[in-house]
Amino acid sequence: MSLAGDRRLRILNLLVRDGGIEPETRRICNVSAKVTGMTGAGIMLMSDDVPQRSICTTDSVASLIEQLQLTLGEGPCVDAHNLQRPVLEPDLAQPARARWFGFAPPAVEAGARAVFGFPIRIGAARLGALNLYRDEPGPMGDEQHAEALVMSDVAAEAVMLFQSNAPPEMLAAELEAGDGLHYLVHQATGMIAAQLEVSVGHAMIRLRAYAFANDRPLREVAQDVLARKLRFHPESGENDPGS
């Protein structure tokens, strides 16, 4: 059997053995971090070059890394998906080439010192990306890189397998298992569109801009909008707490 075949078999063994009550997607994230020797991992589904939903993360830092990319539309997994190649940043605090001006500072502050994105795809079908991070700076070893490539293929097959059992036009239950961030954000976007009498696209930009300007997580801001603690006003452009 080839080297890649050996890796694959070992990864599949880990996925089966580490069974238990955890959702399958969470297990894939855990094994991704384990085989690549990283601190944590997350998997983002993307469509139309936009991050759509995080289906699993191993820990709160990995979760923040995905949330930042959902909020800002930039970061290692967004680039890995758009460029269709691995994107490696061994030193996020002092990168050789400055990039991700919105993403990098809060990610470093949370403890992500090195981040790596690997596209998740099958043939020409582009599904999203695997996010990996380490709490220490430093490059990825050849061995770790090879593991990450095989792992992203396994993740792609898993996503396809989940979705192939889903009813038509529905997202597979396994892929819905991620946190509820996305629902809240999209619901809040609909409310803001009604408040401002603008398109949902425009409303989404306003919501993200508000979260970024006030240095608050997108989820929190969305929750405030849904709880009617925060309204957007068309004229002033200012936002104040609802009565």
Partner 1 sequence: MTMTNSTESPMPREAVLAGTLVQLADSLVADFDVVDLLTVLVDRSVEVLSVDAAGLMLVAPDGDLRVMASSSEMMRVLELFEIQAREGPCLDCYHSGRPVVNQDLEASHGRWPRFTLEALAAGFQSVHALPMRLRGSVIGALNLFSHEPGELDQADIVAGQALADVATIAILHQRAAAEAQILNEQLNYALNSRVVIEQAKGMIAERAGLNVEEAFSILRNHARNHNLRLVEVARDVIEGTLAASALDQPQTAKPS
Residues within the interface to partner 1 (CB under 8 A)? 45, 47-48, 52-53, 121-127, 159-160, 163-164, 166, 168-172, 182-183, 186-195, 200, 226
The least distance separating partner 1 from the CB of residue 115, rounded to whole angstroms, comes to: 24
* Residue closer to partner 1 (CB basis): 82 or 187: 187
The least distance separating partner 1 from the CB of residue 152, rounded to whole angstroms, comes to: 12
CB 87 within 8 A of CB 117: yes
The least distance separating partner 1 from the CB of residue 84, rounded to whole angstroms, comes to: 10
The least distance separating partner 1 from the CB of residue 208, rounded to whole angstroms, comes to: 14
* Residue closer to partner 1 (CB basis): 99 or 121: 121
* Residue closer to partner 1 (CB basis): 131 or 195: 195
* Residue closer to partner 1 (CB basis): 53 or 134: 53
As a three-state string, the secondary structure of the chain is: CCHHHHHHHHHHHHHHHCCCCCCHHHHHHHHHHHHCCCCEEEEEEEECCEEEEEEEECCHHHHHHHHHHHHHCCCHHHHHHHHCCCEEECCCCCCCCCCCCCCHHHHHHHCCCEEEEEEEEECCEEEEEEEEEECCCCCCCHHHHHHHHHHHHHHHHHHHHHHHCCCCCCCCHHHHCCCCHHHHHHHHHHHHHHHHCCCHHHHHHHHHHHHHHCCCCHHHHHHHHHCCCCEECCCCCCEECCC
* Residue closer to partner 1 (CB basis): 195 or 239: 195
Going from the C-alpha of 212 to that of each of 106, 115, 227, the distances in angstroms are: 11, 21, 20
The least distance separating partner 1 from the CB of residue 38, rounded to whole angstroms, comes to: 25
The least distance separating partner 1 from the CB of residue 9, rounded to whole angstroms, comes to: 18
* Residue closer to partner 1 (CB basis): 9 or 122: 122
Strands 231-232 and 125-134: unpaired
